[in-house]
Amino acid sequence: MNWETIIKQEKEKEYYKKLKDILDNRYEKVKVYPPKDKIFKAFSLCQYDNLKVVVLGQDPYHQPNQAQGLAFSTPKDIKNPPSMVNIFKEIKSDLGFESNCKDGDLTSWANQGILLINAVLTVEDSCPKSHEKIGWEEFTDNIIKYISLNNENIIFVLWGAGAIKKSKIIDSSKHHILTSPHPSPLSAYRGFFGCKHFSKINEILKSVDKEEIIW
């Protein structure tokens, strides 16, 4: 199986046809992120057969040139947003060294088998959560359900209340679920700092004979 086939099946469903009509209209009339050709970038970089970890965010960054189709990630030449800064702080605290991706581009994580997706895959300029409840949640729920049903020992990393709600559609008898508050400045001090998810992910991968992530 591959992502292309899985996504094609979703695109044939009625809810997605309605979502596509809404998106076509919004992209034509207002500024929407990421660019249309990068909406599914997370799936093109993380091969289905190599999937080890799913990191679930909320929705894309809503300022110009930030969103690139990978949750939390930004292009190299963009200043790291606050959530990304906090992720790197936790990596250093947890592992004792700085991330190889400190420029904010998490492409190397995706290439190692981490699916970096948001619950909602598009957003309008300067309007966070503007594309909630137009159909994306059904799409990402279905992707998560598919992964849960058809794989074993995937690590689901759920940061923030919205992501944690997805735990109910993941089979915890077959998979590993790590949860914490969101890394944004509003909530990072409530438990994201100190969650040690990066070392925990590698401990789990090692225990199931999978290659550890180079953070």
pLDDT at site 42: 98
Mean pLDDT of the region 94-123:
96
In angstroms, rounded to a whole number, what is the distance separating the alpha carbons of residues 144 and 135?
Answer: 15
Give residues with Cβ within 8 angstroms of 165, minimum separation 6: none
At residue 165, φ and ψ (nearest 5 deg) are -60, -25
Strand partners, 124: 32, 127
161 band by pLDDT with thresholds 50, 70 and 90: confident
pLDDT tens-digit readout, 3-59: 999 999 999 999 999 999 999 999 999 999 999 999 999 999 999 999 999 999 989
For the residues 134-143, what does the mean pLDDT come to?
97
Please, are residues 179 and 167 in contact by the beta-carbon 8 Å criterion?
A: yes
158 pLDDT more than 90: yes
Query: E-assigned strands of 75-205?
Result: 114-118, 123-124, 155-159, 176-180
Give me the chain's average pLDDT, please: 96
- Give the side-chain half-sphere CA count within 13 A for 119: 21
103 catalytic? Reply is: no
Catalytic residue, chosen from 49, 59, 94, 105, is: 59
